[in-house]
Amino acid sequence: MFIPRSFSQTDQSAIVDLIKNHPLATIITSANGVPVASHVPVLYLNDEQGERLITHIARANPMWRHLDTPWLIVFTGASHYISANWYPSKAVSHKEVPTYNYQAVHITAQPKIVDGVGAVEILAKTTDFFEEKLANQVLDHQPWQLSDAPDDFIQTMCKALVAIEFDIVDIKAAFKLSQNKSDENRAGVVAGLQALDTHDARIMADLVMAAK
């Protein structure tokens, strides 16, 4: 991913936060010279086993058969169109053009299949992650766990899935949030976004104000 210096994000905590807040990733590899992609939730872990990513895909998806080279895992966060009319300098010089702000994290990682108990653990960690998020959002939500279903049913389901763990090779992140604009033009972007008063616009306005 090409990243202009102004938009390069190297803060590890900010990158991890984006992954946790936007876990649906696009995983990309090459199958017999043809690019292939899937859209699956991918979780970031950093514990006694080290830093890694986990996911699972349908066994019917042939993507898991191509493990000889690293995969590209793409996470995307907030994004929004930015009108040139929002820049005060445009009214003076007319030397401004529209753009698109966004957040993206690209991780190159080597996949490996996890079988048996390890595969069940990946499914459990994935379920627990999302169920805990719901419990934090809904007061009376009772988190679902794998143990809530019969063991033989879970084992049957596992046969239809392939659990994958990724060793991280490289991380690149771009947070394009109008950092390359003057304070006056950044204020204009914030005002333009706030005037829209949509969910996406409010999020982007907050990010532009916080960006350095």
What is 5-210's CATH number?
2.30.110.10
**pLDDT exceeds 90 at position 144:** yes
The string of DSSP letters for the chain reads ----GGGB---HHHHHHHHHHS-EEEEEEEETTEEEEEEEE-EEEEETTEEEEEEEEETTSGGGG--SSPEEEEEEEEEEEE-GGG-HHHHHH-----EEEEEEEEEEEEEEEE-HHHHHHHHHHHHHHHHHHHHHHSTT-----GGGS-HHHHHHHHHTEEEEEEEEEEEEEEEESSTTS-HHHHHHHHHHHHHH--HHHHHHHHHHHH--
| pLDDT band for position 139 (cuts 50, 70, 90) | confident
Task: Look over the chain and give the mean of its residue pLDDT values, rounded to a whole number.
Answer: 95
pLDDT at 95: 84
* Structural domain boundaries in the chain: 5-210
Q: Residues 135-139: what's their mean pLDDT?
A: 91
Contacts of 147 (CB under 8 A, 6+ apart): none
pLDDT at 103: 98
pLDDT at 94: 86
The whole-angstrom separation of Cα 145 and Cα 126 is 10
pLDDT at 188: 97
- pLDDT tens digits along 9-60: 999 999 999 999 999 999 999 998 899 999 999 999 999 889 999 999 999 9
pTM of the model: 0.94
Provide, rounded to the nearest whole percent, the portion of the chain with pLDDT above 70.
Answer: 100
- pLDDT tens digits along 82-127: 999 999 998 888 888 999 999 999 999 999 999 999 999 999 999 9
